[in-house]
Structure 1
Amino acid sequence: MLYTTTCVASNSKPPNPTHSNSSPIPPCSSNLRPSHFIPINRRGLLASISITLTPFLTFPQIKNHTHYVDFVSLPVSEARGLFQMPPVRLTNRYYLVRAGESHYESSGIINTNPVAKTSVDNGLSEIGKKQTVKAALELKSMGACESNCWIWPSITQRAYQAAEIIAAVNGVSRSHIVPEYSFLDARGLGAYEGKKLDAISEVYASDSLSPSIKPPPIDDGTPNESVQDVFVRVTQLMSILETQYSEYTVIIVSPDSDNLSVLQAGLVGLELRRHTDLAFRPGEVRFVDAASVPTYKQPPSAVYKCLNPPNCN
C-alpha cells in the first residue's frame, strides 16, 4: 500500500497539542507542513498519473488541416504500423534481389544454418559475383537508385557482398546499406542441412500440400521453417520498411529464393502453397509493381450484416 502526505500552509490552524494522538510534525517546506496521510492503491496511482498526463497527450488544434492527421480517429485498417498481406497500399517502391551463387551452392550443398551465415563459404562464388554484377547493372538500367534508395541485405555473407556490389555500381553510399540480422535469413531446412541441392525438391513438394508443413528437425541448430514461418518473417520486415520510410526506393537483397517468393506471393495475394511458382534464380531482380498488388477487399464477415438475428437469411 502506498501513502501520500498532504501538506497544509504554515499559517493554518495547528493541530490541538492536547489531543492524545497528535504529535509534532516537521513542515514539508518553509511554507507547508503535512496534515495527514491518505492511502493510495495501485489503481488510484495510475488514475492520477493519467489525469496528470492528459494535457500533454492531447493533440494540438491546428488550423491548417492539410498538414494534420488525427491519428486517434485513423481507421485501424489504414494505420501504417499494421501491415497486412496483401497490403492496402505500399508507400515505397521495392526491388527484390536474390544474391548470386554462394560457395556452398557451387558445391551443390544445402547450407541454411544461421551459425554459418557470415562464414567465407557462404560468400559469393566467382559465378555468383558475375551474377550479382549483372543484377546491379540491371538495377541501374531500371533507374532504381536515380533518386534516394536504401539497400536492405541479409547479414548473410553472400547477400551483404551483393549489396556492396549493387551500391558500388549504382553510386549509392555505404551508409545507405542497412544490414538485416534475422528477418532475411535463408529459410532453415532442418534435416536437409548438408544434403545435395536436388533434395530441396522434396521440401517444395511438402510446401505444395500445406504452407504449415515443416522440414524434419535436426539437432545441429538449423531451424526447420515452414512457408508460414517465412511469411511471418517477411511480413515483419515489410512492416518495418513501410513505417520507417515513405516514398523511397528500397532494394531487398535475400540470400535465398524462398524469402522473396513468399514475400511476392503475399504482396500479390497468391496462395502461399504456390510460392515456388515465383522462385528466384541466383542474381535475379524483380520490381514490385504497385499495380500488381490487388485492391484490398473487405472479408465477407465485414460486409455481410445480419439485420434480424438469429434469422439472417
Structure 2
Amino acid sequence: MLTAFASHTPTPPSHPSSLHPPLTPQNVPNNPFFTPTNRRHILASLAITPFLSIPSAEARGLFQMPPPRLSNRYFLVRAGESEFESLGIINTNPVAKTSMDSGLSEKGKKQTIRAALQLKTLGACELNCWVWPSITQRAYQAAEIIAAVNGVNRSQIVPEYSFLDARGLGAYEGKNLESVSEVYASDSLSQNIKPPPINDGTPNESVADVFVRVTQLMSILETQYSEDTVIIVSPDSDNLTILQAGLLGLDLRRHRDLSFGPGEVRFVDTSSIPTYKQPASALYKCLNPPSCHYGRYSTVTTAIAAATADTPVNLNHTAKAAVTGGGNDHNRYVTVAAAF
C-alpha cells in the first residue's frame, strides 16, 4: 500500500530566467568595477594569449664548472695556522679533524682575527650572510671568530661534514710540511695523480678527487641560497685553490699558483682571472728529428725536476717528460725524451 505525502517544498518557477533577466546596457549595475563578459570576449582573449610574453622561472639544473653565473656572492677563507702546522707536521686524516690538536694555534688565532676584520672591511656580511666551515677544528673555530666579529648569528654558521675536509695526502701523513712540494709537483703533471696510499685511514686524494667534492659543495650552495653572501672556510689551501680554479675555468694542474696562506681572504670574482702561469705541455715534441732519441725510463721525481723548471730551457740539452704509466706514484714511470 503506497501512501503519498504532499511536499512542502515550493515549486520552482517555470521561467527561472524571468528572475534574472539577461544583462543589457540598460540593466547593467552602475558599478565601475563590473564589466560584463560574453563568449566572444573569452574566445578573443584565448586567441591572443600565445603571443603574450609571459616570464618563466629559470631552472638552475645541474651545477657545472665553470658556472655561467653565480646566484650568490662568495668569499673564500683559509683558516689560520693549526697546532699541527705550527709543528711543521702534515695532518690530513679525517679521524683527527675534530681533535683540539687540529685547532688553531696562537698564531692561527691572530691570523683568523685579521681575516674576520678584513671581511668586515669588505662589507661581506652587511646583508644576509652565511658562514660554511668544515667541521675540522681549526676551520670551525675560524668560523666562530668570523661570525663574532661580523655580527653573524650562530644559527647562520652551517657546518660542512665532508666536502671541505682537508685534502687527504696518504703516505705523506705525519711527514714534514716541506714534503708536500712533491705532491704539488705531481699535480702539475696530471690532475689524476694520487699521493701514495697508506693503511691508517688517511685518504690519498688527487686534484680531481677534491674537484668533485668542491663541485658538490657549490651545487648545494647555489641550490639552497639566492642573492646571499656565503663565506666558505677551509682548513687547508687545496680545497680553495681547486675551487677557485674550477670557478674561473683555469687548468686544475696549476691550482698551486692560486695558493692561499693561513688566514687569507679572497672574494670570488668570476669576471676577472688572477695572474696565472699557464702550465707547460705534458708532451714535448722533438724539434730536430734526426738527432732525437728516447732514453730509458726514469722515476716521476726525475722527470718533474725537468718538466717544472722555472727557468727557460733548451730542448736540445734538457730531458723532458710525459707521464705514460698508471697506478700509484711509487710504481709510475715516465718516458724521458732527450734531445742531444
TM-score of the pair, normalised by structure 1: 0.70
Query: Which residue of structure 1 aligns with residue 208 of structure 2?
Result: 228
Query: Which residue of structure 1 aligns with residue 133 of structure 2?
Result: 153
Identical aligned residues as a percent: 80
Asked whether the equivalents of residues 87 and 293 of structure 1 are also in contact (C-alpha less than 8 Å), the reply is no
Query: Which residue of structure 2 aligns with residue 242 of structure 1?
Result: 222
Sort the Cα spacing of 1:96 and 1:247 in 2 relative to 1 into closer, same or farther, 3 A.
Answer: same
Instruction: Compute the displacement of 1:152 (Å).
Output: 0.2
Query: Which residue of structure 2 aligns with residue 177 of structure 1?
Result: 157
Asked whether the equivalents of residues 171 and 198 of structure 2 are also in contact (C-alpha less than 8 Å), the reply is yes
Note the 1:1-313 alignment, pairs <5 A. Answer: 65-66=54-55, 68-69=56-57, 79-292=59-272
- What is the alpha-carbon distance in structure 1 between the residues aligned to residue 273 and residue 220 of structure 2? 19
- What is the alpha-carbon distance in structure 2 between the residues aligned to residue 133 and residue 84 of structure 1? 33
- What is the alpha-carbon distance in structure 2 between the residues aligned to residue 64 and residue 293 of structure 1? 37
- What is the alpha-carbon distance in structure 1 between the residues aligned to residue 97 and residue 139 of structure 2? 10
Instruction: Compute the displacement of 1:65 (Å).
Output: 3.3
Q: After TM superposition, which residue ranges in structure 1, 4 or more long, deviate above 4 angstroms?
A: none
Which runs of 5 or more residues in structure 2 are unaligned? 1-48, 275-340
Q: Deviations over 1:98-128 (max 9, x none)?
A: 0000000000000000000000000000000
Residue type of the partner of 1:178?
A: V
Matched residue SS, 1:94? strand
Instruction: Compute the displacement of 1:81 (Å).
Output: 3.3
- What is the alpha-carbon distance in structure 1 between the residues aligned to residue 199 and residue 61 of structure 2? 36
Asked whether the equivalents of residues 247 and 270 of structure 2 are also in contact (C-alpha less than 8 Å), the reply is no
Instruction: Compute the displacement of 1:293 (Å).
Output: 7.1
- What is the alpha-carbon distance in structure 1 between the residues aligned to residue 243 and residue 105 of structure 2? 26
Instruction: Compute the displacement of 1:192 (Å).
Output: 0.1
Q: Deviations over 1:51-74 (max 9, x none)?
A: xxxxxxxxxx9x9934x42xxxx7
More divergent stretch after superposition (81-90 vs 106-115): 81-90
Asked whether the equivalents of residues 81 and 239 of structure 1 are also in contact (C-alpha less than 8 Å), the reply is no
- State the number of aligned residues: 225
- What is the alpha-carbon distance in structure 2 between the residues aligned to residue 287 and residue 90 of structure 1? 13
Asked whether the equivalents of residues 128 and 282 of structure 1 are also in contact (C-alpha less than 8 Å), the reply is yes
Residue type of the partner of 2:201?
A: G
